[in-house]
Protein backbone atom coordinates (compact mmCIF):
# COMPACT_ATOMS: atom_id res chain seq x y z
CA UNK A 1 0.00 0.00 0.00
CA UNK A 2 1.16 3.53 -0.77
CA UNK A 3 1.90 5.71 2.24
CA UNK A 4 2.00 9.20 0.81
CA UNK A 5 0.65 12.41 2.26
CA UNK A 6 -0.16 13.71 -1.22
CA UNK A 7 -2.36 10.73 -2.10
CA UNK A 8 -5.99 11.88 -2.14
CA UNK A 9 -7.74 8.63 -1.28
CA UNK A 10 -5.06 7.02 0.91
CA UNK A 11 -5.63 3.72 -0.92
CA UNK A 12 -5.59 2.54 -4.50
CA UNK A 13 -9.18 1.33 -4.40
CA UNK A 14 -10.45 4.66 -3.09
CA UNK A 15 -8.45 6.55 -5.72
CA UNK A 16 -9.90 4.26 -8.38
CA UNK A 17 -13.41 5.05 -7.10
CA UNK A 18 -12.70 8.79 -7.13
CA UNK A 19 -11.56 8.52 -10.75
CA UNK A 20 -14.69 6.59 -11.79
CA UNK A 21 -17.24 8.71 -9.94
CA UNK A 22 -15.73 12.00 -11.12
CA UNK A 23 -15.52 10.65 -14.67
CA UNK A 24 -19.26 9.88 -14.60
CA UNK A 25 -20.08 13.34 -13.24
CA UNK A 26 -17.95 14.99 -15.93
CA UNK A 27 -19.47 12.80 -18.64
CA UNK A 28 -23.02 13.68 -17.54
CA UNK A 29 -22.13 17.37 -17.45
CA UNK A 30 -20.57 17.24 -20.92
CA UNK A 31 -23.54 15.30 -22.35
CA UNK A 32 -25.98 17.79 -20.84
CA UNK A 33 -24.08 20.78 -22.23
CA UNK A 34 -23.74 19.13 -25.64
CA UNK A 35 -27.48 18.40 -25.70
CA UNK A 36 -28.30 21.93 -24.56
CA UNK A 37 -26.15 23.44 -27.29
CA UNK A 38 -27.66 21.18 -29.96
CA UNK A 39 -31.28 21.76 -28.94
CA UNK A 40 -31.21 25.46 -28.05
CA UNK A 41 -30.55 28.67 -29.87
CA UNK A 42 -27.52 29.50 -27.77
CA UNK A 43 -27.10 33.19 -27.18
CA UNK A 44 -26.39 35.34 -24.17
CA UNK A 45 -29.97 35.23 -22.90
CA UNK A 46 -30.35 31.42 -23.00
CA UNK A 47 -26.87 30.84 -21.61
CA UNK A 48 -27.48 33.33 -18.80
CA UNK A 49 -30.90 31.81 -18.08
CA UNK A 50 -29.31 28.38 -17.78
CA UNK A 51 -26.67 29.58 -15.34
CA UNK A 52 -29.23 31.58 -13.34
CA UNK A 53 -30.88 28.33 -12.26
CA UNK A 54 -29.65 27.11 -8.89
CA UNK A 55 -29.73 23.42 -9.85
CA UNK A 56 -27.40 24.08 -12.78
CA UNK A 57 -25.03 26.14 -10.65
CA UNK A 58 -24.85 23.25 -8.19
CA UNK A 59 -24.32 20.80 -11.08
CA UNK A 60 -21.54 23.06 -12.41
CA UNK A 61 -19.97 23.28 -8.95
CA UNK A 62 -20.05 19.48 -8.74
CA UNK A 63 -18.36 19.35 -12.14
CA UNK A 64 -15.67 21.81 -10.97
CA UNK A 65 -15.00 19.73 -7.86
CA UNK A 66 -14.95 16.59 -10.01
CA UNK A 67 -12.38 18.12 -12.35
CA UNK A 68 -10.20 18.90 -9.34
CA UNK A 69 -10.49 15.43 -7.82
CA UNK A 70 -10.06 13.66 -11.14
CA UNK A 71 -7.06 15.76 -12.09
CA UNK A 72 -5.41 15.36 -8.68
CA UNK A 73 -5.64 11.57 -8.67
CA UNK A 74 -4.40 11.42 -12.27
CA UNK A 75 -1.51 13.82 -11.68
CA UNK A 76 -0.57 12.09 -8.44
CA UNK A 77 -0.43 8.77 -10.28
CA UNK A 78 1.68 10.15 -13.11
CA UNK A 79 4.08 12.02 -10.84
CA UNK A 80 4.61 9.07 -8.49
CA UNK A 81 5.23 6.80 -11.48
CA UNK A 82 7.64 9.04 -13.37
CA UNK A 83 9.28 11.40 -10.85
CA UNK A 84 11.16 9.19 -8.39
CA UNK A 85 13.14 11.72 -6.29
CA UNK A 86 10.96 12.92 -3.43
CA UNK A 87 11.64 16.67 -3.47
CA UNK A 88 11.06 17.27 -7.20
CA UNK A 89 7.93 15.10 -7.09
CA UNK A 90 6.60 17.01 -4.08
CA UNK A 91 7.32 20.36 -5.76
CA UNK A 92 5.52 19.32 -8.95
CA UNK A 93 2.58 18.00 -6.94
CA UNK A 94 2.46 21.17 -4.83
CA UNK A 95 2.50 23.34 -7.95
CA UNK A 96 -0.27 21.27 -9.58
CA UNK A 97 -2.32 21.40 -6.37
CA UNK A 98 -1.92 25.17 -6.16
CA UNK A 99 -2.97 25.63 -9.79
CA UNK A 100 -6.03 23.39 -9.28
CA UNK A 101 -6.96 25.30 -6.12
CA UNK A 102 -6.69 28.65 -7.92
CA UNK A 103 -8.84 27.36 -10.80
CA UNK A 104 -11.43 26.00 -8.36
CA UNK A 105 -11.67 29.28 -6.42
CA UNK A 106 -11.78 31.24 -9.68
CA UNK A 107 -14.54 28.98 -11.01
CA UNK A 108 -16.57 29.41 -7.84
CA UNK A 109 -16.17 33.19 -8.04
CA UNK A 110 -17.35 33.19 -11.65
CA UNK A 111 -20.20 30.77 -10.97
CA UNK A 112 -21.63 32.37 -7.84
CA UNK A 113 -20.49 35.95 -8.45
CA UNK A 114 -18.54 36.18 -5.21
Backbone angles phi, psi at 48, to 5 degrees: -65, -40
Residue 51 in this model has a pLDDT that exceeds 80: yes
**What's the pTM value of the predicted model, to 2 decimals?**
0.84
pLDDT of res. 69: 93
Q: Using CA atoms, how far apart are residues 93 and 22, in angstroms rounded to an integer?
A: 20
Residue 11 in this model has a pLDDT that exceeds 90: no
pLDDT average, residue stretch 76-95: 95
Phi-psi map region of 43: left, alpha, beta (phi>0 left; psi -120 to 50 alpha): beta
Residue 3 in this model has a pLDDT that exceeds 80: no
Question: Mean pLDDT over all residues of the chain?
Answer: 91
Q: Which domains does the chain have, with CATH numbers?
A: 12-112 (1.20.1300.10)
User: ∠ CA 78-97-104 to the nearest 5 degrees?
Assistant: 120
Amino acid sequence: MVDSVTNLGRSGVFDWMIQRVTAYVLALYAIFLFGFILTSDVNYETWSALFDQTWFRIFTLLALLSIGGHAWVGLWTVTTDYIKPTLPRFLVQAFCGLVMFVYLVWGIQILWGL
